[in-house]
Structure 1
Amino acid sequence: MSDKPSEPSGSSGENPQVPDDVWEQFVRANEKDAPKEPSARARMVTERLREREARGDLPEGWRTGPLWQEKKRGRGAWKAVGVLLAVALAVVAVKPSLLPGDLFGTGSADEAGPALPAETAAPTAAPEAAAPDVPTLDDPFAGSPAKRWADGEAGIVVPKAKAVGGQSAAKVEQTLELTRTLLVESSIDPATLRGETPKAALGVLDPRQDVLGRFKDALSRPSRDNDPLAMFSRFDPGQVRVVGDVVKTRGRMTFKEGEHASVEVHADYTFVYPVVQTNGSTEVTRTIVRRVLDVELPDPARYQVTPGKLSIVNYQRDIGNSACDLHDGYLHPQFDSAGPTGAPPSGPTSDPYDRSKGIDDDSAECGVVSRV
């Protein structure tokens, strides 16, 4: 470190004296890192500072100064950022799917994308192919387009009610809510899926309509011509169980004026069931069931009906991945690790996820599914 610098050459006048307090600050700022022996001037200033410190003339913390304190705070902040970054990297290392996209090419099951918005009209094509992931007990919808579908009841969205055909908005809302109850209790309710009697679903149907009697008979004595699967999704609890507590659901509900002084509701929904055998196997497969219903609440003043109970106008179903020609009232998913059951498929190959087409009259014919 040198003594005070001389005035640059070319300037006029005598060298001005640098004020002591400015020079002292300069010395303090450079004292620690000075590589050379202090000059006589520096030693003199340092001694003067020591004397002032001994007399108590200098404020507390003068050696560190605000600049050093600011540096210390800055270093602390960077240390905190470093700790947070290390934690974030550790979390991502454990679960890289937390990062958006597939930055590391992991093909994680969490990369199916955001949940789809509610369906408001018939799609124009089948869903795109999903990543070819194998479903597991922890991720039973891996490799399925249904991974982005809504969970259970959340997928059955009731449209806003409004008066139609002389029927009040309240009557429309009542019909919509009863339809929703029928769908939930017949195709999502865990007890129904376990093969129990779907009492809540039966309870919304008009007991004066013949179809209710047929459903009850089919549940107690299933047969080819009296199949409860036409309205209810059921698995044999001794052979198959649903994995987890989520059934994926996608579809839509609309309404219009009915023919019997009523509101007629049209419902079209697909349900995806991940299942596993009860023999200890961990292989997961899926059964896909699509249901199309037309129901109404006829005017009890004009028709012999039970007030507040649904009358069924039409019902159709299409089942993907269930054994053919087994009529015991249960769905029978096919597992790769198990031998085929039932008769060989006789119908065409179809995509059970394709909601762009209606259910044709040949849907009862058991065919091959292109994916599960």
Structure 2
Amino acid sequence: MAGRPSDGTPSASDDEAQPSAPSISDEEWQRFVQEAGRDRSSAPKEPSARARMVTERLRRQEARGELPPGWRTGPAWQEMNGRGTRRRWWAVVGVPLAVVVAVVAVRPSLIPGDPFGTASPVPDTAAASPLPAETAAPTAAPGAADPDTPTVARPFAGSPAERWADGEAGITLPAATPVGTLTKAQVAQALRQTRRLLVDANLDPATLRGERPETAFDVIEPRQKELLDLLTTGLRKPDKKHDPLWMFSRFDPSEMRLAGDVVKTRGRMTFKEGEDASVAVHADYTFVYPLVREGSDEVARTIVRRVLDVRLSDPTRYQVTPGKIVVKHFDQEIGNSACDLYDGYLHPRFDSAEPTGAPPTGPTTDPYDRSKGIPADRRDECRVVSRT
């Protein structure tokens, strides 16, 4: 508690020669207590002459047994300066405790277990991250998504498509290689033309608003007059035998519009050597359209899956238009659109509106299930969807 004696402090031999020291007065004791109780956090100081004298007297008295046991830390010290002791206890314990309380008040999540329930939820980054590109048919339908209701701000909530690619980014092309008599460049051209057809028919904003998809018509072999006439008639005067929805995705702009500017896309494109010195390209893609009606913020989704087989032949061996593709086969599967309605537009069902068209009668299917092909015997069925 007091500093060590300086070199000038009397030695033990001097103590034996001197007479017994008189007892310490109350005034001297109080001064000692005050001197010893100074802030210990300050830098050490050389003891004063009075402090050295008092300390030496106490040391001698303790050696002769004149002081009670435990006088340095015992009850006598606490009783005589109890208020000072409490103050020193608060300086040692209370200040750090106050710092801890202040830090916890600002960041309560530092307490293990979050007893106040204030910690922010850990985001599910795996659920939010985009899926890798599809390179082969999946083995099963995608798992259940979160049960959230779609909104204009988040139109794909509650849908597996929330992790799909946006629009054209979902139509990736495989690396081209030579096929038969066709060069790598010719195969790459066939892939690009197939992609242009898919984009213009299913993603172009003008096509979705019901306008004529000029690019799609431009890439198709002009010698395919029967197909081109069918599609042209369907756009001009749609009916059951001339339905533009067989090839194009269209919505009536007077009734609804896209919720945002994103259409989700997932699928794959492959190629192989085809007949008649050609490259055969196979495309299988699903498009998810979020829509809102005029004057409403309710979001409904329509899901369209399209399977397309095209061919590009060697122009040096066959009479074809260089760079144009021949559409050999096309098929579609539509989820959440009015049945038996042939006006050339898709009509999703909104919970807040009366349904249009006939009710679906076919078996319940999952429109997100890409693990199976489109059954040929169900192409004319209007099926119930398990989710949108």
> TM > 0.5 between the two?
yes
C-alpha separation in 2, matches of 1:42 and 1:128: 86
Amino acid in structure 2 at the alignment position of 1:306:
T
C-alpha separation in 1, matches of 2:49 and 2:130: 75
1:139 — aligned with what?
154
Compute the displacement of 1:31 (Å): 6.4
User: CA contact under 8 A between 1:161 and 1:172: conserved in structure 2?
Assistant: yes
Match of 2:275 among 259, 270, 294: 259
1:100 — aligned with what?
123
Compute the displacement of 1:94 (Å): 12
Q: Which has the larger radius of gyration?
A: 2
Match of 1:247 among 263, 271, 280: 263
User: CA contact under 8 A between 1:256 and 1:263: conserved in structure 2?
Assistant: yes
C-alpha separation in 1, matches of 2:279 and 2:323: 12
2:197 — aligned with what?
182
The question of 1:39 aligning with 2:47 is answered yes
What do residues 141-177 of structure 1 show as CA deviations (whole Å, max 9, x unaligned)? Answer: 0000000111111110100011122221111100001
User: CA contact under 8 A between 1:207 and 1:213: conserved in structure 2?
Assistant: no
The question of 1:359 aligning with 2:374 is answered yes
Compute the displacement of 1:206 (Å): 1.3
Cα distance 1:307–1:36, how it changes in 2: closer, same or farther (>3 A)?
closer
TM-score by length of 1: 0.74
C-alpha separation in 2, matches of 1:187 and 1:295: 16
The question of 1:311 aligning with 2:319 is answered no
Compute the displacement of 1:33 (Å): 2.8
Larger displacement relative to structure 2 (310-319 or 300-309): 300-309
Secondary structure, counterpart of 1:297 in structure 2: strand
Secondary structure, counterpart of 2:347 in structure 1: coil
Match of 2:142 among 124, 127, 133: 127
Q: Equivalent residues in 2 for 1:270-285 (5 A)?
A: 270-278=286-294, 280-285=295-300
What do residues 352-371 of structure 1 show as CA deviations (whole Å, max 9, x unaligned)? Answer: 00000001121231110000
C-alpha separation in 1, matches of 2:148 and 2:50: 74
Match of 2:230 among 209, 214, 217: 214
User: CA contact under 8 A between 2:165 and 2:266: conserved in structure 1?
Assistant: yes
Q: What percentage of aligned pairs have identical amino acids? A: 60
Secondary structure, counterpart of 1:229 in structure 2: helix
C-alpha separation in 2, matches of 1:141 and 1:320: 15
C-alpha separation in 2, matches of 1:330 and 1:250: 22
What do residues 107-136 of structure 1 show as CA deviations (whole Å, max 9, x unaligned)? Answer: xxx873311100000000000011111000
Compute the displacement of 1:208 (Å): 1.2
Larger displacement relative to structure 2 (220-229 or 31-40): 31-40
The question of 1:118 aligning with 2:133 is answered yes
Compute the displacement of 1:202 (Å): 1.3
1:201 — aligned with what?
216
Amino acid in structure 2 at the alignment position of 1:368:
V
User: CA contact under 8 A between 1:140 and 1:243: conserved in structure 2?
Assistant: yes
Amino acid in structure 2 at the alignment position of 1:39:
P
What do residues 65-98 of structure 1 show as CA deviations (whole Å, max 9, x unaligned)? Answer: xxxxxxxxxxxxx9xxx7xx86x99xxx99956x
Compute the displacement of 1:216 (Å): 1.3
Secondary structure, counterpart of 1:364 in structure 2: coil
Cα distance 1:192–1:41, how it changes in 2: closer, same or farther (>3 A)?
farther
Aligned residues: 301
C-alpha separation in 1, matches of 2:50 and 2:266: 83
User: CA contact under 8 A between 2:181 and 2:314: conserved in structure 1?
Assistant: no
C-alpha separation in 1, matches of 2:273 and 2:281: 9
Amino acid in structure 1 at the alignment position of 2:160:
P
1:287 — aligned with what?
302
User: CA contact under 8 A between 2:285 and 2:307: conserved in structure 1?
Assistant: yes
2:2 — aligned with what?
2
C-alpha separation in 1, matches of 2:39 and 2:363: 89
The question of 1:161 aligning with 2:176 is answered yes
C-alpha separation in 2, matches of 1:344 and 1:218: 23
Compute the displacement of 1:301 (Å): 3.2
User: CA contact under 8 A between 2:182 and 2:314: conserved in structure 1?
Assistant: no
Cα distance 1:5–1:356, how it changes in 2: closer, same or farther (>3 A)?
farther
TM-score by length of 2: 0.71
Secondary structure, counterpart of 1:303 in structure 2: coil
The question of 1:346 aligning with 2:361 is answered yes
Aligned-residue RMSD, C-alpha: 3.2
User: CA contact under 8 A between 2:310 and 2:328: conserved in structure 1?
Assistant: yes
What do residues 38-74 of structure 1 show as CA deviations (whole Å, max 9, x unaligned)? Answer: 8316999xxxxxxxxxxxxxxxxxxxxxxxxxxxxxx
Task: Name structure 1 gaps, 5 residues minimum.
Answer: 8-29, 45-77, 102-109
User: CA contact under 8 A between 2:171 and 2:266: conserved in structure 1?
Assistant: yes
Amino acid in structure 2 at the alignment position of 1:33:
S
2:384 — aligned with what?
368
User: CA contact under 8 A between 1:186 and 1:231: conserved in structure 2?
Assistant: yes
Compute the displacement of 1:348 (Å): 1.0
Secondary structure, counterpart of 2:379 in structure 1: helix
User: CA contact under 8 A between 2:134 and 2:266: conserved in structure 1?
Assistant: yes
